[in-house]
Amino acid sequence: MGLIVQKYGGSSLADVEKIRNVARRVIALKEKGNQVVVVVSAMGSTTDELLSLARQFTSDPDERELDVLLSTGEVVSSALLAIAVQSMGHKAVSLNGGQAGIQAEASYSRARIRAVVPRRIWSELGEGNIVVVAGFQGITEEMDIVTLGRGGSDTTAVALAVSLGAEACHICTDVEGVYTADPRLVPEARKLGEIDYDEMLEMATYGAKVMHPRAVEIGKLYNMPILVACSFNDSPGTLIHGGTTVELGNKVRGVAHDLNVAKVTVLGVPDRPGIAATLFEPLAQAGISVDTIVQNTSVDGITDLTFTVAQSDLEKASRIVEPITRSIGSRGCVTAAGLGKVSIIGSGMQNTPGYAARMFKALSEAGINIEIISTSEIRITCIVDGGKVPDAVRALHSAFQLEEE
């Protein structure tokens, strides 16, 4: 009995029958006495179709216009879901990002939410409506439409839940929750009943696709419980929350992996202050997220610097880095694609030694060579050959006995 925000992704809304299924689910939630706000993504492959239409005109369409174009996908879903709910005899209304009060910065294709002003949502809830909000989009001060980038609909949902003071935010998707590892790679992988924000953040950042880290971050900041659950059945899902009740028995919570990894090594970098900024600021400005950065101790004031980027960003990153390598007097750069990341994650690890050693041993026993290592307090990540990633995930899942409760 309260206010619930549910988000449904594109695969849960891919066709008329699936939209009807979502309508039945949100109606059931309403009939239990809840006020319901539903955030929707674009149907199935709509976003890709719109994108490919735009790319028939130019390989690099203007970001403002692309945002206008792509935002229509979520608007279509929102209207259709409202119609589906109404066709079942319940009141519903669709709102686009601007109407829902999602105010965003004027940064096309990857805007951040500045504020949520959900006045209209409250008034529609007051009228007894199920409120369907088009996800992934916001409106700038100039009344321009912007999209929120990857994970945008998850972010819309959690931000709305926070600003409405919702009881919980449900992320409804095509998997049943968060698993100890990808079940497609590890058949023994176990669904987690709960996970804390920090662990989920690391899982999501290091490859678990189920939820976007941005949205987890907002949840963590405002302590909003997030339930990741399946759109197609009533299995209980995974609750992401503040962690006070998280069982601490097994200190590795899960294994995450990511196959979209490439590395760039800048050779013979003069070891003087400001070099890293010269290199990484232009990458950040281009929206390229740099992950692991490794720099060896310098010998004679010269060092090598290696960092990883998403493989899909490699070409763009090389174009930016190459001229810089010359200007800073390095010996140039080499790149390698086809890498992968495997990570073990668990908040119990941070005060307990020996996890790294067990991880390296398990990989070594599986015949897997480690290229780069990086760690956080609750995570250890190894960069390995992409082809070895499935074996690595299985080896780690087994070494840390994650199949056991």
Closer to a second copy by CB, 72 or 295: give it. Answer: 72
Number of residues this chain uses to bind a second copy (CB under 8 A): 37
Is residue 65 a contact point for a second copy (CB under 8 A)? yes
User: Residue 51, interface with a second copy (CB under 8 A)?
Assistant: no
Alpha-carbon span 265 to 385, nearest angstrom: 16
Q: Which helix (H) or strand (E) holds 6?
A: strand 3-8
CB of 86 to a second copy, least distance (A): 5
Measured from the CB atom, the residue of 144 and 371 that comes closer to a second copy is 144
Torsion sign over Cα 66, 68, 74, 77: negative
Nearer to a second copy among residue 62 and residue 371 (C-beta): 62
Answer yes or no whether residue 66 interacts with a second copy by CB under 8 A: yes
Shortest separation between residue 40's beta carbon and a second copy, angstroms: 12
Residues 292 and 309: their CA atoms lie apart, in Å, by 8
- Could you tell me the smallest distance in angstroms from the CB atom of residue 52 to a second copy? 10
Distance CA(105)–CA(103), nearest Å, equals 7
Instruction: Select the span of 68-76, 201-209, 213-221, 396-404 touching a second copy (CB under 8 A).
Output: 68-76
Does 45 interact with a second copy (rule: CB under 8 A)?
no
137-139, strands of its sheet edge to edge: 113-116, 102-104, 137-139, 145-147
Q: What single-letter amino acid sits at 117?
A: V
- Give the contact letters, 122-161, x = binds to a second copy (CB under 8 A), - = no: ---------------------xxx----------------
Cβ 72 to a second copy shortest distance, Å:
4
Name the residue type at position 300. D
Nearer to a second copy, 123 or 298 (CB): 123
Nearer to a second copy, 74 or 199 (CB): 74
Cβ-based nearer residue to a second copy, 64 or 112: 64
Determine the Cα–Cα distance for residues 1 and 391; give it in Å rounded to an integer. Answer: 46
Binding flag, residue 63, a second copy (CB under 8 A): no
Q: Cα–chain-centroid distance for residue 324?
A: 30
The answer to whether residues 160 and 100 touch, using CB atoms and an 8 Å cutoff, is yes
Minimal distance, residue 384 CB to a second copy, in Å: 41
Residue pair 228/220 in contact (Cβ under 8 Å)? The answer is: no
Alpha-carbon span 96 to 70, nearest angstrom: 13
Q: Does 98 bind a second copy (CB under 8 A)?
A: yes
- The span from the CA of 307 to the CA of 293, in Å, is 4
In one-letter notation, the amino acid at residue 210 is V
Say how far apart CA 243 and CA 240 lie, in whole Å.
8
Instruction: Give me the residues that bind a second copy (CB under 8 A), please.
Output: 16, 19-20, 50, 53-54, 56-58, 61-62, 64-66, 68-69, 72, 75-76, 78-80, 82-84, 86-87, 92-94, 96, 98-99, 120, 143-145
